[in-house]
Amino acid sequence: MRKLTRKEEEIMKLFWENGEMFVKDLLELIPEPKPHVNTVSTQVRLLESDGFLGHKAYGGSFRYSPIVTEEEYSKQSLTGLIKNWFGNSYM
């Protein structure tokens, strides 16, 4: 599992806090200045292709939901930090 960028992490936090959402619902939760809907949609699709989100189709729209929990991501991030910076030793 790769490390998320700051913007991707912000999007994932919104999914972790709110559960399943359409891109338009996600956009409403993002603070001003809001990015363009296409920008958000692209970021969501990238998160899906990387295995962080899944979707269900509703006609021509997709409702996305987190596949990776916040706890799983946090644990993986901490493990990677220890491995990369501390020679795989928490001591």
Cβ proximity of 52 and 11 under 8 Å: no
Q: What are the structure tokens assigned to 49, written together?
A: 């292709």
How many C-beta atoms lie closer than 10 Å to residue 30's C-beta? 14
pTM of the model: 0.82
Can you give the pLDDT of all 91 residues of the chain as single tens digits? Answer: 888 999 999 999 999 999 999 999 999 999 999 999 999 999 999 999 999 999 999 999 999 999 999 999 988 765 455 455 555 555 5
Burial of 38 (0-12, 13-18, 19+ CB in 10 A): exposed
Per-residue confidence (pLDDT) for residue 75, from 0 to 100: 81
Q: Where are the beta strands (DSSP E) in 18-79?
A: 53-58, 61-66
